[in-house]
Structure 1
Amino acid sequence: MRQGLAERDPQSTALPVALGFLAGHGYAPEALRQMAVFAQVAGVSADDFVLRQGLIEETEFYRTLAAELGLPFLAAPRLSRDARYPESILAGLAPLTGTRSGFVAAPRGALLVQLLRSRSAARPLAITTPSLLREAVFRAKAPSIAHRAASDLAEQAPDLATGVGYGQLALLFLMLAPIVFGALHAPELTAGLLGAALSPLFLALVVLRLAASFLSGSVEPATPPPRAEDADLPVYTVIAALYRERRVAARLIQALERLDYPPAKLDIKLVLEADDRETPEALAAITMPAHVEVLVAPPGEPRTKPRALNVALPLARGRFTVVYDAEDVPDPGQLRLAASRFREAPADVACLQARLTIDNTDDTWLTRLFTIEYAALFDAFNPGLAAIGSPFPLGGTSNHFRTAVLRRIHGWDAHNVTEDADLGIRLARLGYRVQDLPSSTLEEAPGTLRLWLRQRTRWMKGFVQTAVSHSRRPWNLLRQLGPWRFCGALALTWGVVLSALVYPLFTGLFVTSWLLGHGVAQWGPALNAYALTLFASGALSIVVPAGIALHRRRLWRLVPWVALLPLYYGLVSLAAWRGLWELATAPFRWNKTSHGLARTSRSGWLQKHQARVVETRSLNTAPP
Structure 2
Amino acid sequence: MRQGLAERGPQSTALPIEIGFLAHHGQPPETLRQAAVLARLTGVPADEFLLRHGLVEETEFYRALAAELGLPFLSSPRLSRAAGYPESILAGLAPLNESQAGFVMAPRGPSLAWLLKTRPRDRALAVTTPSRLREAVFRVQARGIAQRAASDLAEESPDLATGLGYGQITVLFTIVAALVFGGTLAPGSAAAVLGTILSPLFLGMIVLRLSAAILRSPVESEEQPSRARDADLPVYTIIAPLYREKRVVAGLLHALSRLDYPATKLDIKLVLETDDRDTWNALQAIDLPGNVEIIVAPGGEPRTKPRALNVGLPLARGRFTVIYDAEDVPDPGQLRLAVARFADLPPHVACLQARLTIDNTDDSWLTRLFTIEYAVLFDVFNPGLAEIGNPIPLGGTSNHFRTEILQTIHGWDAWNVTEDADLGIRLARLGYEVMDLPSSTLEEAPSTLGTWMRQRTRWMKGFVQTAAGHSRKPWSLLRQLGLWRMFGTLVVTWGIVLSALVYPIFTGLFLTLWLSPPAEPLASRWEAAEHAYGLTLFVSGAAATFIPACVALHRRKLWRLLPWVPLLPLYYGLVSLAAWRSLWELATATFRWNKTSHGLARTSRTGGSKGTRRGSSTRDR
TM over 0.5: yes
Q: What secondary structure is seen at the aligned counterpart in 2 of 1:355? A: strand
Once the two structures are TM-superposed, the CA of residue 610 in structure 1 deviates from its matched residue by 7.8
Q: What secondary structure is seen at the aligned counterpart in 2 of 1:541? A: helix
Rate the CA distance shift 1:439–1:198 in 2: closer, same or farther, 3 A: same
TM-superposition CA deviations, 1:296-345 (whole Å, max 9, x none) = 00000111000000000000000000001111000000000000000111
Q: Structure 1 residue 359 and structure 2 residue 359: aligned?
A: yes
8 A contact 1:237–1:266 mirrored in 2: yes
Once the two structures are TM-superposed, the CA of residue 7 in structure 1 deviates from its matched residue by 9.9
TM-superposition CA deviations, 1:11-68 (whole Å, max 9, x none) = 5331100011011112222221111000000000010111011111101100111111
TM-superposition CA deviations, 1:65-89 (whole Å, max 9, x none) = 1111111111111101110000000
Once the two structures are TM-superposed, the CA of residue 276 in structure 1 deviates from its matched residue by 1.0
- Match of residue 566, structure 2, among 551, 555, 563: 563
Amino acid at match of 1:548: V
**Alpha-carbon distance in 2 for matches of 1:100, 1:133:** 14
Q: Determine the structure 1 residue equivalent to 2:208.
A: 208
Amino acid at match of 1:277: R
Query: RMSD over aligned Cα, in angstroms?
Result: 1.8
Rate the CA distance shift 1:501–1:610 in 2: closer, same or farther, 3 A: closer
Q: Structure 1 residue 61 and structure 2 residue 61: aligned?
A: yes
TM-superposition CA deviations, 1:445-487 (whole Å, max 9, x none) = 0000000000000000000000000001101100100111011
Once the two structures are TM-superposed, the CA of residue 114 in structure 1 deviates from its matched residue by 1.7
**Alpha-carbon distance in 2 for matches of 1:349, 1:507:** 40
Q: What secondary structure is seen at the aligned counterpart in 2 of 1:445? A: coil
Q: What secondary structure is seen at the aligned counterpart in 1 of 2:595? A: coil
Once the two structures are TM-superposed, the CA of residue 9 in structure 1 deviates from its matched residue by 4.2
Once the two structures are TM-superposed, the CA of residue 592 in structure 1 deviates from its matched residue by 1.7
Matches within 5 A, 1:144-293: 144-293=144-293
**Alpha-carbon distance in 2 for matches of 1:249, 1:609:** 8
Amino acid at match of 1:261: Y
Once the two structures are TM-superposed, the CA of residue 215 in structure 1 deviates from its matched residue by 1.1
Q: What secondary structure is seen at the aligned counterpart in 1 of 2:302? A: coil
Q: Which runs of 5+ in 1 are unaligned?
A: 612-624
Deviates more, 1:545-554 or 1:509-518: 509-518
Amino acid at match of 1:225: P
Rate the CA distance shift 1:227–1:206 in 2: closer, same or farther, 3 A: same
**Alpha-carbon distance in 1 for matches of 2:607, 2:14:** 47
Q: Determine the structure 2 residue equivalent to 1:112.
A: 112
Matches within 5 A, 1:568-607: 568-607=571-610
8 A contact 1:10–1:30 mirrored in 2: no
Q: What secondary structure is seen at the aligned counterpart in 2 of 1:524? A: helix
Q: Determine the structure 1 residue equivalent to 2:454.
A: 454
Q: Determine the structure 2 residue equivalent to 1:615.
A: none
TM-superposition CA deviations, 1:243-300 (whole Å, max 9, x none) = 0112211111111111110000000000000011221122222221111111000000
Q: What secondary structure is seen at the aligned counterpart in 2 of 1:270? A: strand
TM-score, normalising length from structure 2?
Answer: 0.96
Matches within 5 A, 1:121-160: 121-160=121-160
Q: What secondary structure is seen at the aligned counterpart in 1 of 2:260? A: coil
Q: What secondary structure is seen at the aligned counterpart in 1 of 2:597? A: coil
8 A contact 1:360–1:445 mirrored in 2: yes
Q: Determine the structure 2 residue equivalent to 1:426.
A: 426
**Alpha-carbon distance in 2 for matches of 1:390, 1:319:** 26
- Match of residue 554, structure 2, among 544, 551, 554: 551
Once the two structures are TM-superposed, the CA of residue 8 in structure 1 deviates from its matched residue by 7.0
Amino acid at match of 1:483: L
Amino acid at match of 2:27: Y
Once the two structures are TM-superposed, the CA of residue 238 in structure 1 deviates from its matched residue by 0.2
Rate the CA distance shift 1:129–1:529 in 2: closer, same or farther, 3 A: same
Deviates more, 1:330-339 or 1:580-589: 580-589
Amino acid at match of 2:250: A
Q: What secondary structure is seen at the aligned counterpart in 1 of 2:98? A: coil
Equivalent residues, number: 609
8 A contact 1:216–1:381 mirrored in 2: no
Q: What secondary structure is seen at the aligned counterpart in 1 of 2:598? A: coil
Q: Determine the structure 1 residue equivalent to 2:441.
A: 441
Q: What secondary structure is seen at the aligned counterpart in 2 of 1:362? A: helix
Amino acid at match of 2:558: L
Rate the CA distance shift 1:460–1:7 in 2: closer, same or farther, 3 A: farther
Q: What secondary structure is seen at the aligned counterpart in 1 of 2:294? A: strand
Q: Determine the structure 2 residue equivalent to 1:464.
A: 464
8 A contact 2:599–2:612 mirrored in 1: no
Amino acid at match of 2:175: M
Q: Determine the structure 1 residue equivalent to 2:52.
A: 52
Matches within 5 A, 1:26-41: 26-41=26-41
Q: Determine the structure 1 residue equivalent to 2:483.
A: 483
Once the two structures are TM-superposed, the CA of residue 517 in structure 1 deviates from its matched residue by 2.3
**Alpha-carbon distance in 2 for matches of 1:37, 1:512:** 76
Amino acid at match of 1:577: W
Q: Structure 1 residue 529 and structure 2 residue 539: aligned?
A: no
**Alpha-carbon distance in 2 for matches of 1:218, 1:390:** 19
Q: Which runs of 5+ in 2 are unaligned?
A: 615-621
**Alpha-carbon distance in 2 for matches of 1:112, 1:10:** 26
